[in-house]
């Protein structure tokens, strides 16, 4: 399958399903021999943006750095899958403008569903005050106003979410079979 460079930015609350969808989508794209890179917010924080905290300024800096790396890869024909909470709409829009070939995927689920999926116990720690500035609890999450794709993980299967993203990539001309957009 032929493809053009694009950044697919998956945003949503912790526990909404961003990493799960990203992993399945990455496998699907690899099955089609696409050049791709995955930038997971948790992994990036331990390497590229080590030392940043969770203030609004540090979160914005984190997203800008992920956006810059995504821009470099995208312009070189790579499909970049970004899985990051990225809670603030303005910096997501800033990154969209910088990258150009950008597709926003809102991975949504109600807060109570996200909390029930929380294997790391982060929501519990945030509610007890152990963790401060936790998105969705004592720090805001600004949902996208017009994402290209909305995956409602509490209502649809993983396969349905991945299929929606793949269909939108094809519709927007990022994926094609033998040079003909499917």
Spatial distance between the Cα atoms of 6 and 17, rounded to a whole number of angstroms: 21
Spatial distance between the Cα atoms of 76 and 122, rounded to a whole number of angstroms: 37
To the query of whether residue 86 is one of the catalytic residues in this protein, the response is: yes
Q: Which helix (H) or strand (E) holds 65?
A: helix 56-75
Strands of 2-3's sheet in order across: 2-3, 175-177, 180-181
Spatial distance between the Cα atoms of 161 and 61, rounded to a whole number of angstroms: 29
The residue assigned the tokens 């070939």 is: 101
Catalytic residue among 14, 19, 70, 86: 86
φ and ψ of 105, to 5 deg: -120, 115
| Encoded tokens for 137 | 């609890």
Spatial distance between the Cα atoms of 123 and 131, rounded to a whole number of angstroms: 8
Asked whether 54 and 148 are in contact (CB, 8 A), the reply is no
| Encoded tokens for 124 | 């519990």
State the catalytic residues: 86
């Amino acid at each position: 399958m032929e493809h053009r460079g694009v950044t697919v930015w998956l945003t949503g609350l912790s526990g909404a399903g961003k990493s799960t969808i990203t992993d399945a989508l990455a496998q699907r794209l690899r099955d089609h021999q696409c050049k791709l890179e995955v930038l997971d917010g948790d992994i990036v924080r331990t390497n590229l943006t080590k030392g940043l905290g969770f203030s609004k300024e540090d979160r914005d800096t984190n997203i800008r750095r992920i956006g810059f790396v995504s821009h470099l890869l995208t312009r070189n024909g790579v499909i970049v899958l970004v899985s990051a909470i990225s809670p603030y709409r303005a910096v997501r829009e800033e990154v969209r403008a910088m990258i150009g070939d950008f597709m926003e995927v809102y991975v949504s689920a109600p807060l109570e569903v996200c909390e029930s999926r929380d294997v790391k116990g982060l929501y519990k720690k945030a509610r007890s005050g152990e963790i401060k500035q936790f998105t969705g609890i004592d720090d805001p999450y600004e949902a996208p106003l017009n994402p290209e794709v909305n995956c409602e993980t509490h209502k649809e299967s993983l396969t349905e979410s991945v299929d929606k993203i793949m269909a939108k990539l094809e519709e927007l001309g990022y994926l094609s079979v033998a040079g003909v957009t499917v």
